[in-house]
Structure 1
Amino acid sequence: MATNQNFWLFSILLAVVSLALGYFLVQLTPARDNFEERQSLRDSWFGFAQSNERLMLKFIVGNEDCLTHPEYRRSPYGCTPSNLSYENIDKEVMAVNISRTSQEEKDVAVPLPSRISFQVHHPIIIQKLGLYWRGASSSMTSTYQVYLFDDMNEETVVQVMFSSSSPGVSLGDYLFKPVESFILPKDFQGSVVVKPLAGDYGWLVTPGGSLTLETGGNVISYMQFSVFITELPKNPAMKERERVLIWLKVMYRWDEPQTANLPIISKDVSDMFAGNFMFLIHGSEELMETVKQTDEKRQEWSTEIDRVQKRLQEENKKHRDIVLVDAVDTYQNLPLKVLLFHKWLTDNVDFKYLLKTDDDCFLNIRHILKTINKTTFPESNAWWGNFRYNWAVQRHGKWAEHHYPTTAYPAFACGSGNMLSADLVKWTAKNYR
């Protein structure tokens, strides 16, 4: 599988386009600086396909590079800058801090398990795990488990227990316990999770004031996930009206009758944090050096962007097989590039089918065209391929979907090869916003 130095994979799309004279179009979406990869394709099946008069082949490339140097991005797949600073070096940072505007500020009861999720942009050392508890520790009637979970590898890193007999040390509105020191590397994605030891679900009163999430100078960032439920939880200890009002605030939008019974994105995710943690920055000298080199790296990257732009223009002038679409060229923008190509295709070409394949696939163009000619395909509402069913939505990693409203995708065709009829392509182009 081909990659460039910034870990951007390029995806291949094959568009089979029927024109008045029977021409076809093949389209690929590599990264801007994948010059060698594009040429290798021209020298293999892509070049062979160009000799077929029924085929027109195009590379689809974003018209902008990410202006942030790859070393200073939150993720190798996006363009969000990390904006690191070093003012918190050698300081123990508490992740969640509470500020109350009034002494009468009421707490909020939320369901457990509760989690606070984060991603590491410079290595940190986990020192303590915490539990929100505003009353006397003697009033704790349950035992609570607080653990650091590695979301990528789906395993517990370290855990502690809080109970009336072993409450830990009080610090502000939280109880804390020290844990074995673990260095969490750059790009680590994890969660601090709170759950009752006696079962998988429960309730805990959490802060109703304003919560501030400390990043330690952007060495970590917090990931907000949509919270979805299918029914209101039952809690005999709470009055019916209070129970509904809590979930009205956190979970539901009742002002729209047509969606009153459907789960939606939580607007008060800060109310869901029952856990806390404390950390130190690891590798302070390396962090200081990284921050000090910001301007130098920015200028270095600007020079590289200019070089890529000039070479890309020369390449397109020579081969005339590149289409620039209005997108910043990053891996996370591949779906956008596909949609923009759908729009370009709809506006510029009269076609019947669009066939997509991946960059690690060799296309037997002759066989594809022969199969299409011999097979009776419906000319509308057609989606042909090897389908996946009940495929779990990934919340972490390269393909993360933080706000997709279910735990599984609807059935979809694999990327190795699937074909859409023109009406579906035009529908996506029309409905793209």
Structure 2
Amino acid sequence: MDLYMYKILAISLALISILLLIVLKNQESEYDLVIIVISARDHFFQRNVIRETWKTSAANVSVKTLFAVGKECLIHPSDRIDEFSCRMWNISLEDVDDEMHHSWSYPSSNIPFNSSPGMEFIFNVIHPIEVHELTIQSSCLRELKRGNITITLYDRKTDDSLTSVDLDLNNISSSFHTNITKIRIPQNSILLPKDFEGVITVEGGKCSSELLERVECSPFLDCVDSRSDPVVGMNFKILDENRLRGFIQDRSYRQDAWSLVQKKRSSELQQESSLYKDMLFIDAVDTYRNLPEKLLQSLQWLYMNINVNYIMKTDDDCYVNVPLVVRKLQQMRSANLTQRVWLGNFRKMWAVYDHGKWAEHNYNALTYPWFACGSGYIISSDIGAYLTSAHPHLHRFQGEDVSMGIWLSPLTIRYIDDESFSCVLPEDGVTNSLVSIPELTGDGMKQVHTELTSDL
């Protein structure tokens, strides 16, 4: 979804958010500030360090701190497609038997073709492979008929071309007797390791969707762009077959052991919640890709349960200087900055990546709108009310901080850019002038707390 669609969405939800604001203004606030700490299920130590350090600074002020924790992923980490999501790698012994594999296959069922053909094939490697041929749907070549095309395999991380083949359609256009045309690569073979992120492109022509066939992704690859069906692909052999067969056969044992781990962890979380009463359990699986959903559900819970003036988001590896936050809020209130306010250290003109942890394939722009870095930012409660009303309609992008920037970009809000919200761990030490300090270990957080409170 692009920025234009979000502008339309913002206008359509404006009346709802105004009504929510009226309700909020007519109620007495229970807290001046609620701090939402995004935390992973197994981060018991990090949460306890926060309780022993900066959370104690909020004990005598109108500040409440909550740890937002999601549901367990029932899939063993080794059986997931990647480390950022909770998607099962559906691989079977039958998938291993073929000598040569293709990056996609034709399904047995009659599935409608997507709205547009993909003149590039974006993929991640789940298991090491050896590429021997690049391919293209023959129906595309029959449509193009004449000219020259080039098919290239790129490394998405480095933009390096690993191999490339040229086709002169004037000489070979009459020989397309199969669904897929195969072209041997010059190097004979190329090894692609696990987690390799690649793209195969075709230059020199474009095909229409009417003549192409619907395809399904190989179980050895994670096909990234599901909005279109690829015209190009590759033939490859899988490596370490014996090890892979053993891995598949041991799956049930791994799953049984993982279930016991999750059962124990859930029990420990319930005990932690009963003891400290500062846990917010979110109905979303605890993975990186679900962070936007965790944030939205946290805001939704706040709106339904607590009346608050300001909301702060931070992570469980960050130290928050609560007394300084309170002073900044007092200054904002004195300046009548109580509505449609976003305070943080903002990333500007931040590039949209197509690879790695921050890969984004659903936002059609070269750069993101302004968004605050994740160590900490503060929004006025009316923004939380707006996001609560818009919750069902908002696309979840690759990270919660980037998503927040996109969600709020159509609105007229006051951005207060404040470098005291540190985006990285300061190399020259910490001072009382910093609101939030990220990337801390538990011991590092204790040390920061000692340094910042030694003079009090």
**TM-score, normalising length from structure 2?**
0.70
SS for the counterpart of 2:97 is coil
Residue 77 of structure 1, CA deviation: 1.3
Q: Does 1:157 align with 2:158?
A: no
How far apart, CA to CA, are the structure 1 residues paired with 2:282 and 2:62? 24
SS for the counterpart of 2:340 is coil
After the TM superposition, which segments of 4 or more aligned residues of structure 1 sit over 6 Å from their partners?
Answer: 168-171
How far apart, CA to CA, are the structure 2 residues paired with 1:51 and 1:340? 25
Residue 300 of structure 1, CA deviation: 0.5
Answer with 369-378 or 387-396: which moved more. Answer: 387-396
Residue 190 of structure 1, CA deviation: 1.5
Q: Does 1:42 align with 2:78?
A: no
Deviations 1:218-272 (A, max 9, x none): 121322254xxxxxxxxxxxxxxxxxxxxxxxxxxxxxxxxxxxxxxxxxx22xx
How far apart, CA to CA, are the structure 1 residues paired with 2:288 and 2:108? 41
Q: Which residue of 1 aligns with 2:447?
A: none
CA contact (8 A) 1:385 1:419 kept: yes
Residue 370 of structure 1, CA deviation: 1.3
After TM superposition, list the pairs within 5 Å mapping 1:57-76 onto structure 2.
Answer: 57-62=65-70, 64-76=71-83
Residues 1:206 and 1:338: Cα distance change in structure 2 (over 3 Å): closer
Q: Which residue of 1 aligns with 2:271?
A: 314
Residues 1:136 and 1:397: Cα distance change in structure 2 (over 3 Å): closer
Q: Which residue of 2 aligns with 1:212?
A: 215
How far apart, CA to CA, are the structure 1 residues paired with 2:106 and 2:269? 51
Residue 38 of structure 1, CA deviation: 1.2
Residue 431 of structure 1, CA deviation: 1.7
Q: Does 1:302 align with 2:259?
A: yes
Question: Which blocks of at least 5 consecutive residues in structure 2 are unaligned?
Answer: 1-26, 393-456
After TM superposition, list the pairs within 5 Å mapping 1:273-288 onto structure 2.
Answer: 273-288=230-245
Which letter maps to 2:200? V
Deviations 1:87-123 (A, max 9, x none): 233511133456999xxxxx99x89x81012222211
Residue 135 of structure 1, CA deviation: 9.5
Residues 1:100 and 1:332: Cα distance change in structure 2 (over 3 Å): closer
After TM superposition, list the pairs within 5 Å mapping 1:249-268 onto structure 2.
Answer: none
Q: Which residue of 2 aligns with 1:343?
A: 300
SS for the counterpart of 2:93 is coil
Instruction: State which of 51, 57, 60 in structure 2 corresponds to 1:52.
Output: 60
Q: Which residue of 2 aligns with 1:430?
A: 389
Deviations 1:305-354 (A, max 9, x none): 10101111111222222121222222211111111110111111111111
Which letter maps to 1:117? I
Answer with 141-150 or 301-310: which moved more. Answer: 141-150
Q: Does 1:383 align with 2:384?
A: no
Deviations 1:177-197 (A, max 9, x none): 22232222222222211112x
The RMSD of aligned alpha carbons is: 3.2
Residues 1:417 and 1:315: Cα distance change in structure 2 (over 3 Å): closer
CA contact (8 A) 2:33 2:312 kept: no
Q: Which residue of 2 aligns with 1:259?
A: none
Q: Does 1:118 align with 2:127?
A: no
Q: Does 1:28 align with 2:29?
A: no
Q: Which residue of 2 aligns with 1:188?
A: 196
How far apart, CA to CA, are the structure 1 residues paired with 2:365 and 2:61? 45
Equivalent pairs, count: 356
Residues 1:309 and 1:127: Cα distance change in structure 2 (over 3 Å): same
CA contact (8 A) 1:97 1:212 kept: yes
Instruction: State which of 421, 426, 430 in structure 1 corresponds to 2:380.
Output: 421
Residue 69 of structure 1, CA deviation: 0.7
Query: More helix by proportion, 1 or 2?
Result: 2
Residues 1:189 and 1:135: Cα distance change in structure 2 (over 3 Å): closer
Question: Which blocks of at least 5 consecutive residues in structure 1 are unaligned?
Answer: 1-17, 102-106, 197-201, 227-268
Residue 76 of structure 1, CA deviation: 1.0
**TM-score, normalising length from structure 1?**
0.73
Residue 403 of structure 1, CA deviation: 2.3
CA contact (8 A) 1:144 1:194 kept: yes
Residues 1:427 and 1:290: Cα distance change in structure 2 (over 3 Å): same
CA contact (8 A) 1:27 1:59 kept: yes
How far apart, CA to CA, are the structure 2 residues paired with 1:341 and 1:412? 19
Residue 424 of structure 1, CA deviation: 0.8
Q: Which residue of 2 aligns with 1:176?
A: 182
Instruction: State which of 401, 414, 427 in structure 1 corresponds to 2:360.
Output: 401
CA contact (8 A) 2:103 2:221 kept: no
SS for the counterpart of 1:323 is strand
Percent of residue pairs bearing the same amino acid type: 27
Q: Does 1:129 align with 2:137?
A: no
Q: Which residue of 1 aligns with 2:149?
A: 144
Which letter maps to 2:373? C
